[in-house]
Amino acid sequence: MKFTARQISDLLQGQIEGNDAVIINKLSKIEEGEAGSLSFLANPLYTAYLYTTKASLVIINKNFVLTAPVSATLVRVESAETAFAKLLEMYNQVKLNKTGISKQACIEESARIGDNVYAGAFCFVGENAVIGHNVKIYPQVYVGDNVEIGDNTILFSGAKIYSDCKVGKNCMIHSGAVIGSDGFRFAPQNDHKKIPQIGNVILEDNVEIGANCAIDRATLGSTILRKGVKFDNLIHIAHNVEIGENTYIAANCVIAGSTKVGKNCMFSGQVGLVGHLQIADNTIFAAQSGISKSITKKGEGFMGSPAFEVSRYRKSYIHFRNLAALVERVDKLERANK
């Protein structure tokens, strides 16, 4: 794809400075700019690169003051970061704009397929599945029987959606993710027999699931991710968990069965929650926090394992670090008193 600087400036409703006819055919970081590339400057730490970059076009803030000549054509906008994000989104939409059903796709006759669907080679869509409009199913995706996929959802290569699960509109499920695998339940008192998991998983609208996540189906009922939930890679959600709207969870987190997480929570990496907890809205967990008790007060931060409120943890950590010195002082006092 090729665009002129003028076309990009008009798209962003910016003010152009320099050669408006220069051709742009790629994107780049400002420090790695090449001829024909478009970049942006938002972070002041990268200001020096504006004067040395070889990028042909750079988006900058409207109020940015130049202190030296610049070889690149400039587009001034209210927010360079926001404008560049808009271009990235448009670029991604064009890149992912695939349509058509591959001859090598396997779609059961009873499945219902919406308009403008893409189904890549070696994907499978099971019996009575319902696929919405503009859905993109990349090669080697598995969609089980009775699954429902909402409009505009993207399933990347290798994603697996087990039977009876429901995925909402405008969702994105990345490669290797497994939606609807069995919950981990066995009966030690009954010769360790597996307890059947006959529920499902429901992903509401605008949910994104990172690569290689595993979301277990419920024993009964549903494991539910509410609207706007965003998962990083390598996350495990156990049976009957519920994640509230717009909660963000970073990589390597684990949430045990039947725990309910509130809205707008934020999990840093490697957080673990035991089962059957209630987590209040707007809770924040620092990396590697271990949560063993319910949290009922909204908007608090937690840190440590076992975790407690973050300001208390930071004060306590000072004592943790000084523990060896305190032990030495106690030992000296004990020896002096003998």
Catalytic positions: 239
The single-letter code of the amino acid at 335 is: R
Q: Is the peptide bond before 139 cis (omega within 30 degrees of 0)?
A: no
Q: In whole angstroms, give the CA distance from residue 243 to residue 97.
A: 30
Vertex 178: Cα angle to 175 and 182 (nearest 5) = 170
H/E run at residue 107? strand 106-107
Which residues are bridge partners to 242 per DSSP?
224, 260
- Give 289-319 as a DSSP string: -EE-S-B-STT-EEEETTEEEHHHHHHHHHH
Q: How far is CA 107 from the centre of its chain?
A: 29
Q: How far is CA 283 from the centre of its chain?
A: 18
Measure CA of the first residue to CA of the last residue in the chain; give whole Å: 84
HSE of 199 in the Cβ direction (CA atoms, 13 Å)?
22
Residue 188 tokens read as: 């030690």
Strand order in the sheet with 307-309: 100-101, 118-119, 136-137, 154-155, 172-173, 208-209, 230-231, 248-249, 266-267, 284-285, 301-304, 307-309
- What's the alpha-carbon Rg for the chain, to the nearest Å? 26
109, 115 Cβ separation under 8 angstroms:
no
Which residues are bridge partners to 49 per DSSP?
none
Q: How far is CA 331 from the centre of its chain?
A: 51
Q: In whole angstroms, give the CA distance from residue 162 to residue 126.
A: 10
